[in-house]
Amino acid sequence: KKLGIALVGLGTYSTDQLAPALLETKLCYLSAIVTGTKEKEQQWIEKYGIKKENVYTYKNFDRIIDNDEIDIVYVVLPNSMHAEYTIRAAKAGKHVICEKPMATSVSDCKKMITACKKANKKLSIGYRLHFDPFNDNMMRLGQSKFYGNKMTVATEFSFNVSDINHWWRANKKLAGGGALMDLGIYCLQASIYTFGELPLTLWGKDTTKPDSIFNEVEGSIEWEMTFPSGKAYCKTSYESPFKSHLILNTEKGKLELSPSFTYDGIKGTTPDGEMELKNVNQQALQMDTFAQNILQDTSSIVPGEMGLRDNYIIEKIYESAANHSAVVNLNDIPNILDL
Ligand code: NAD
């Protein structure tokens, strides 16, 4: 039997990526939807053959507890709503995939992990690039120190946003932060998975333009992290032309993914030439792998604890940026996982 997934929040990512990916998955399928928009109900029922009784609203969401056709709840809402819906899903006895960033505070991340543990349900974060062959290759070559022990990472994820009217990502309460929470988190993730190490220290600098349209959250930010094997320089912005790259400088030359963080079209090179790999449907593989984790009772490779770790580092980047780029020690990372 395929596991049933309920998508919570039918915005851009659910509509354009996750629902189409669920037509390709082998171990799970789209069995239910949760939406606050009446017009979307009929459209989704028709397009994806969803049963009328498997359509929920945010108000009656908790009734999923009585629905055996929902095994997994996938939370695809504005960032500050992730915690509430993850916890309600766990209480209803469902496994959860929660989109990135996991939450808007470390304390919410902890509550989410505790709720899923208490319910004996698995919790996974929507870190799709762990399922992309190019990023996976970078992880393997970086972590094995294939091209030498000393390395430097340089990575950026940016694009230009010209209108923030009605855009929840520019709203501090809903987004929790700006470009860092949304795009920079990919650079943070990439640095850590390329080194395969935890960062030791960091400093950050808010580089939002003086005449920026962003007034509640940062439009641009840069930060640097030290690792046992080298440094990572990271940049992210809503105020710059599109950039998406992950560069690894090693003793034996340069490795590069460009673009590195897109849904498709990722390309990569190493000192030995082009990476002969194919792009895959990252979301389909991500959801099938989680379904397999549930069916075989194995651990997610992108668990809640990883989301918590990243939210903790994000808080430290903001702390440094607010404190004249003071160097922040990250010795405490292993301890934050003691819940
Ligand atoms: P979106 O704005 O397109 O959709 C958000 C959905 O939430 C909409 O359906 C909206 O109706 C609903 N919603 C419910 N309450 C709301 C409220 N109070 N304010 C605003 N919207 C409300 O956003 P999106 O791009 O689909 O992003 C949703 C989540 O998915 C975010 O956490 C984002 O970071 C994540 N995301 C992840 C990826 C990825 O590649 N992993 C890509 C895009 C988005």
pLDDT tier, 298 (very low <50, low <70, confident <90, very high otherwise): very high
Nearest CA to ligand 1 atom 30: 76
Q: What is the mean pLDDT of residues 244-255?
A: 98
Q: What pTM did the predictor assign?
A: 0.98
CB atoms under 10 Å from CB of 329, counted, come to 10
CA 13 – ligand 1 centroid, Å = 7
Q: Provide the CB-side half-sphere exposure for 331 (13 A, CA).
A: 2
Residue 163 confidence (pLDDT) above 80: yes
Q: What distance in angstroms lies between residue 60's CA and the mean position of ligand 1's atoms?
A: 20
Q: Is pLDDT above 90 for 338?
A: no
Domains, in order of start, for the chain = 3-128 (3.40.50.720), 133-279 (3.30.360.10)
Residues 31-65 have pLDDT tens digits of 999 999 999 999 999 999 999 999 999 999 999 99
The dihedral through the CA atoms of 34, 116, 128, 281 has a sign that is negative
Separation between Cα atoms, residue 203 and residue 146, nearest integer Å: 28
| Mean pLDDT value of segment 163-178 | 98
pLDDT (0 to 100) of residue 325: 98
Q: To which residue do tokens 């395969």 refer? A: 196
Q: Is the pLDDT of residue 328 over 90?
A: yes
Ligand 1 centroid distance, CA of 213 (Å): 21
Question: Which residue, 77, 75, 108, 109, is CA-closest to 174?
Answer: 77
* pLDDT one-digit tens code per residue, 11-31: 999 999 999 999 999 999 999
Tokens of 214: 């962003």
Task: Please tell me the distance from the alpha carbon of residue 182 to that of residue 307, in angstroms, as a whole number.
Answer: 13
Which residue has the least CA distance to atom 42 on ligand 1?
13
Strand partners, 153: 232, 248
Over residues 153-160, the mean pLDDT reads: 98
Of 12, 13, 167, the one to substitute when testing ligand 1's pocket (max ligand atoms within 8 A of C-beta) is 13
Residue 241 confidence (pLDDT) above 80: yes
Question: Sorting pLDDT into bands at 50, 70 and 90, what band is 337?
Answer: confident
Which amino acid makes up residue 228? P
Beta-strand relationship, 253-257 and 268-270: antiparallel
Band the pLDDT of 334: cuts 50, 70, 90.
confident
The alpha carbon of 99 and the centre of ligand 1 are apart by a number of angstroms equal to 9
Beta bridge partners of 72: 5, 95
Nearest to 150 by CA among 248, 257, 225: 248
Q: Which atom number of ligand 1 is nearest to the Cα of residue 128?
A: 41
> Which ipTM score applies to this complex?
0.99
Question: Does 339 have pLDDT greater than 70?
Answer: no
Unique residue bearing structure tokens 């990502």 = 169
* Mean pLDDT in residue range 207-227: 98
Pocket test for ligand 1, best of 99, 129, 217 (most atoms within 8 A of CB): 99
Mean pLDDT of 73-84: 98
Count of Cβ atoms closer than 10 Å to residue 211 Cβ: 6
pLDDT at residue 168 tops 70: yes
In 3D space, the residue among 169, 170, 171, 176 whose CA is nearest the CA of residue 106 turns out to be 176
pLDDT, mean of residues 170-177: 98
Q: Which residues line ligand 1 (CB under 6 A)?
A: 9-14, 36, 76-79, 99-100, 126, 128, 168, 174, 182
Residue with tokens 């030498």: 148
Nearest residue (CA) to ligand 1, atom 23: 11
Residues serving a catalytic function are 100, 186
- Which of 98, 161, 91 has the alpha carbon at shortest distance from 128? 98
